[in-house]
Copies of this chain bind each other. A is one copy, B any other.
């Protein structure tokens, strides 16, 4: 039941560094912020190293007494926060180490070099809502545990497995499991997504916002799906396209 009164406190200084990927990797942990995310972590019974909160939260009933809790003065909470006005509650979680799934049969979203944290987070949330087996982040995709990705995921990373790895290896394994692989590159052989029925197994690859998918991955797709553009927009946002395609493919 420690009360931390200064932003210069060693623990606070150490945790503040978790806003950078380098330090998350070094410390092998990450920080979540806000009532919604902390409650999602508790509900998911995911390992939690500690909770930090302003003393207002002494009144809430949903933090288990067995938890390691540090109380913070409001100004200390604001130091730790990535938002303009913090809700005043945080949790420190070990970085998960997802290895490989037991089976590659299932429904998958593969992200090939997606850069925008909001897009990545929103796609994980959408994959969760669609009930997929998992999401795979290829090399070159933005880091999963930054504040912006965490905010957009809304806790979906506690619900759905997320893997990081070489997408070439994944495609090899998915093909061995006879899972159909769909790309989302607009090319002459691409088919209107409306014509593809919902199916029990698939892998959908979404590419980089500006450059699309890598050519060597593209060569391994069975079919490319396109969403017909009727207006004058050049393209759809990648997360919107993923949402439309996933809710078509998933049965």
CB nearest neighbor in B for A153: B233
Enumerate A190-249 residues with CB–CB distance to B below 8 Å: 227, 229-237, 239-241, 243-244, 247
Query: Using a CB-CB cutoff of 8 Å, which residues 111-134 of chain A contact chain B?
Result: 118, 122, 125-132
Is A160 touching B231 in the complex (CB atoms < 8 A)?
A: yes
Q: Write the nearest CB–CB distance from A192 to chain B, whole angstroms.
A: 11
**Chain B residues, CB < 8 A from A236:** 125-126, 129, 243
Asked whether, in the complex, the Cβ of B250 is within 8 Å of the Cβ of A154, the reply is no
Q: How many copies does the complex hold?
A: 2
Please measure, in the bound complex, the distance between the C-alpha atom of A181 and the C-alpha atom of B104, giving whole angstroms. Answer: 42
Nearest CB in chain B to that of A229: its residue? B129
Chain A residues near B (Cβ < 8 Å): 118, 122, 125-132, 152, 154, 156, 159-160, 227, 229-237, 239-241, 243-244, 247, 250
Q: What would 20 A/B residue contacts be, using CB atoms closer than 8 Å? A: A118-B118, A125-B236, A125-B237, A128-B231, A128-B232, A129-B233, A130-B230, A131-B229, A154-B233, A156-B231, A156-B232, A156-B233, A159-B231, A159-B232, A160-B231, A227-B247, A236-B243, A237-B239, A244-B244, A244-B247
